[in-house]
Every structure is written in C-alpha cells, then in structure tokens.
Structure 1
C-alpha cells in the first residue's frame, strides 16, 4: 500500500501556494528479526545487591567549624574519652558531666556510610567511606575517630566494619560532605547469596521490566530441554532430561524463578554461567515514540502510524493518509489508509520545520487519538 501525504506552505506576503507531495512507499515485507541480549545483561541475581553500612561518629581536628553548643556531640565525645581512659568528671548521680567539653568547637558529630558491593565483602577488605556533617559548618581538615558501622536494620547491632581516617573534601562539593578512601575495614564477612535452596531468582533491570519480557525469559529457559553447556561455555546439543531439565516460572514483570537442575546441583556456578549467557529475543518497540523536549530529541519507531488527518499548523497545511484527489498517485488510496509518522517527520524536516513544531503536532495527534502507538516523554 502506498500512503500519500500532501503538504501546503502558505506565505503571508505572497499569494503563491507551494505544494509539496510526499509519497511513502509502504511495501509489505517480512519483519526484521528482533534484537537479542544475553540474559545477564538484562537482570541480576537476587542476593547480589549493594548493601549500605552506617554509623554515627565524631570528626576531630576542625578549625573552629564544628558543632556549637550541641549536647549530643558533647555526650558522645565524653563517652568516647571515657572509653579511652580519659579522666572525665561525673555528677552526683554518676552520670558523665559534659560541661568540660561543652565548648569544644573543633569536634563534629557526623553520619558515616559505606557500601558493600553486590559481590559481597570479606573480613579485612577495605571500602571507601562517605562522611556527612549533622551540624558542623565545615569538615575541612578533620579526622574521623574510630566509628563502628552497622547494617541497614536498626534492630541488628552487629558491627560489620570499623571506619576511621583523615577525611577529604571534593573539589567542587559541599564543605559538609567528605570521603575517606579505603577508610572502612570489614570486621565480618558478608557473602552475596545467589540461590536459595536450589532456586535462583532473576531480577530484571528497570529498563527491561515487563510481563512480556519475563514471559519470554521463562519460555527460553524452559525450552532448554535439548541443550546443555558444552566445553566452550556455550549451549550445544546434548540434553537435559527428566529432573535435569531447568524449570523457570515468571512471578511478575520483574522476577523469574529458576530451579537449578539436579545435573548442576553440585556445581551451581556452572549452571548460572550457562543461564546468564542465554540469548533472549527482546520485544520490539517499533510502535513507540520517545520525546525529550528539553534536548529537542524525537525518536520514532518504524511502525508508528497516524490516521488520515488534516493538520493546520502555522504556515503548514498537512493532509496525511488516504486523501481524495490523489488517485493518480495511488489508485488504491481510500479514506481508511494510514500513514507512517516517520514519513511525516521526514517531510517536515525537509521543509525545515523546527523540532518543537513536530513535537507539538505529535502531542495533538496523540491527544486526538489519531496516533497509533505509545508516546513516552522523558
């Protein structure tokens, strides 16, 4: 089918009408093969997540930019000095008397964090630390005293790491935020689990999360009954059979559970390597329009169509789709013919129409219901 578009540009100063005919040849052809990605590029394994350790610490050695008249800081400093054997005064109730350190201006209470990578961490590993002031004006020149780092759950008092060291401000960052490279030493081993009782849970990245993709992954994995992992680390003929066959089930648009076959129960890493190298055919997004108005970018899928419409915009009059009177160009045209949006965009571009005008036209077509496809704004 050939879908014509007819364009008129009106010049306000001259009575001359310029007519530009754009004929888009829509020759039916076999659809192109869908793109494919390795499964490992689309998802991660549940249990392979970044974890955050956190704690409250004290930074000393500041240049008068610490916490002023902050009772929590004074109490923490008094307790720290007491634990280190410092002679601290107590009141009549036996509580620490913070009056001795209440005027300390070179000390600041800070919030300390460190991230455990998705692969886990071993006892003795060093990790970078981020330090953020709570009340201080600046952390420049400070030193973080020994600070225990706990896990993200407040009900678990386990100390996973100890942080300390000279802090460093970023060149263009705030003076109240700093880092310590390799400033946290792991005091416990935090393994990164990758299966639970023989079950692997795949978690799709946000860009790929959809019911269609999880169903495709389930189907691809369940079709491996006649395949196995060859010496090259890729799929080859061989055969899963019976209990050796992997079983996958899509749980929702984000998760797919996979049972490790009995053949690989003693070597799950080998099966995971096989699994993550499995090619997955991606769903086509050829019926989608993505618009970034701030950058002036429009990406149009090849299958986005528009209904037969007449659009008047500024100096343009646009007739798209089956239009009476163009039978000489397309003797099969009728009022129900559709046109491709990309052909309309190409024609507007040839007429030097700004991208902002194209975006305005697309918005109007979508609002009217004459654009057949998904429009995504970024």
Structure 2
C-alpha cells in the first residue's frame, strides 16, 4: 500500500519518538541535584546605533525618558523643553540564565527583546544594562553588539521580513558580578530529584546508589525525591558526586501517552501506546463559497449608471466515509499502520483519537497542548 505524504510524515515522527526498548541511563540523566539550579535574570536597557529602525518616540515616551536619564548621569544636561526625535534608539528588555556555580568574572549569553515599536534591532549595540534576580540584587551586567538572525527591507509601502528582527542575542554579552549562594557543600545529605515522578524509578535509583556506594546510603522519600548520605569533606563530596551521577539505572517502562497539539495538528505518541479492536467511520463535509464580480452596463441613452455586481455561488460537498475496522495493535508500528489506513489528515486525527479514547479503544493517556 502506498502511503500519502501526510501519512508518511506521521509515521516518521511516531517511529522516531517511540522505537526501541528502555535502556539503562545514568543518574545525572534521570535526576537533578537539589541546590544545583540556574537562576533567571532580567534587566532594562537601550539599544543604539540602529539605521532608522528604532522606536517611534511619539508612541514610546519611555524611550526618550531613558535617553534623557542616561545623558544626565553622564553629565549631559538637556535644555528644558527639548523635544528629542530619535530614530536609532530602542528600549529593550535583557534576559539571561545564570548557571549554577557561576563565579564573578564569567561571561553568559543574553537575549535582547524590543518592548517598544522598533522595526529592527539589527546592527544595534546594547548599552550597559544591569541584570537583576528575583531578589532585586544585581548579578550581572550586559553590554555588546547584537546578533539578529534575520533580515528585512522596505520601500514605497512594501516590506519583506525574514525571521524575527525585534529579538537578538549577545554571545557572552554579560559579565557575572555576584555569585548565587548555595550548592551541595553543606549538610549530611544531598537530594536527588527525578525529572519525572515515578515510584518504580525512585526505588531503582535508591537501590543502585546503595549497591554502588554502600548499603543504607540512599532512601527514596517519595516518587520524585531520593535522599543520599554524602561525605562532609568538600573534596570527598565532589568525588562522591562524580561517582554517584555516573551510576546507571534502568528506569521503569514509560507511560503510554499521546500528545496532541491542537494549534498545529501535530500528533506524537510513544512506543507504549496500544489499540484495542474498534471500528471507525470518518467523512468530510466541505462548504465552498465563491464570488464572481461583474459589471452591470446600462444600454445607451437609458440614463442608467454602471454598477458593480457580485454573484456568490455556494457548493456543499459531503464525502461518504466508510467504516474501517482497526485490529488490536500491540506495537507502535501496528498503531501507525492502523491509523494510516484510515486516510485521515493530522487535523482529523485529533478528533479520531479523542473519540477512540472515549470509547476505550486507545490504551494511552491523551494530552492536548
């Protein structure tokens, strides 16, 4: 049987996401260590040097106010009543992620996003902008030239844009000024937090740690948390952590799940999905409305006026959907083959899968995002 382009695409995505068995994984791939986390930073700044694509100051007064405040701090006093007409400046937000164990002097990447009506940040330079954490403290300072992965051009009322021009990045654009307190160097215990809560996996991780690091070293507190006893000496603790995170564990079988994106029509399922025998009938109803514009021309000397006339044609086409028998499927390949036989588009599969779940034929958790 020859599969359609849509069916081949669905089959390819499903096979990639769900083929193979459950393999052993390192603990650092299954869990994170309590206290080892990144922190989000945010700041406000100005991008200058734009080629006339900055904020329209009449609609973004905060841009002019920011420029005046900056010039005042630099010792430039503006005459009262000065009306600045700026086209090469844009107000932006600056965001970054501060990795764990970052130290003063290290560099991190930053993302710069326009908050005004600037057309493009391409070619701009971010002026010194402090980045603050959730506690209001400054943890980094950003500055540098933007890299914008896009292009655009406009002339005579026409414009063309490739990718997003209002967002750019500065690699290594921020310097860390303050380190985040914390870490894994205090206390008698460290905590492992599983990425996915599962009692079976938590029990297996605790058993693997006790086997590799000594009995009674670890115990599972719940479906996500494993408490591990660690040495007090910092050097010994680092060596202990290095050995711990490389222990291998075979996680429990994944939960059968189907993910449906209602906006894009994407359908992805894992290898644990199975089907019970069922029958499916699927048909399409198509309504087509076409308009034909004509001109009514009166006869000569009739005194009438030429008027436009619009004629609409409505066509309703209902395709009969036959009943398709779907056999019991125990493997992902069989599930894909059964769904392809229906001949439905990805958008149609959204309704079909939901109906199969309601009928008890789809043995999987259905999640719509």
Contact 1:67 / 1:109 at 8 angstroms: preserved in 2?
no
- Report the alpha carbon displacement of residue 210 of structure 1 after superposing the two structures with TM: 2.3
Aligned-pair RMSD on alpha carbons? 4.0
Deviation readout 1:164-214 (Å, 9 max, x if unpaired): 122232124322212222221222334672354232122222xx3223322
Instruction: Find out whether 1:81 has 2:71 as its counterpart.
Output: yes
SS at match of 1:258: strand
CA spacing shift, 1:216–1:60, aligned 2, 3 Å = same
Alignment check: 8 A CA contact 1:167 1:180 kept: yes
1:277-292 alignment runs, 5 A limit = 277-285=246-254, 288=256, 290=258
CA distance in 1 between counterparts of 2:324 and 2:92 reads 64
Trace 1:204-219 onto structure 2 (pairs within 5 A).
204-205=194-195, 208-219=196-207
Note the alpha carbon deviations across 1:3-56, whole angstroms, 9 max, x for none: xxxxxxxxxxxxxxxxxxxxxxxxxxxxxx964322111111123222222211
- The structural deviation recorded for 1:111 is 0.8
Q: 2:39 aligns with which of 38, 42, 51?
A: 51
Q: What secondary structure, in the 3-state scheme, does the structure 1 residue paired with 2:330 have?
A: helix
**What residue in structure 2 maps to residue 162 of structure 1?**
141
Equivalents in 1 of 2:326, 2:70: separation in Å?
Answer: 79
Structure 2 residue ranges without an equivalent (≥5) = 1-20, 151-161, 282-320
Larger Rg: 1 or 2?
Answer: 1
1:66 matched to 2:55: yes
Deviations 1:65-104 (A, max 9, x none): 3241333323322221122122344xxxxxxx5x335433
TM-score using structure 1 length: 0.62
- Number of positions where the alignment pairs a residue of Structure 1 with one of Structure 2: 290
Deviations 1:303-322 (A, max 9, x none): x574xx775767668697xx
> Counterpart in 2 of 1:250?
221
Q: How does 1:1-80 map to 2 (within 5 A)?
A: 35-64=23-52, 65-69=54-58, 70-80=60-70
SS in structure 2 of the partner of residue 353 of structure 1? helix
Match of 2:315 in 1: none
| Cα pair 1:77 1:101 within 8 Å, conserved | no
The residue number in structure 1 matching 2:188 is: 198
Q: Which residue of 2 aligns with 1:367?
A: 358
Give, in whole Å, the separation in 2 of the partners of 1:129 and 1:345.
Answer: 43
Equivalent of 1:122 in 90, 103, 106: 103
For 1:201-251, what per-residue CA distance to the aligned partner results, in whole angstroms no more than 9, with x for missing partners? 22222xx32233223323443x43xx54xxxxxxxxxxx47xxx4132324
Residue matched to 2:121: 139
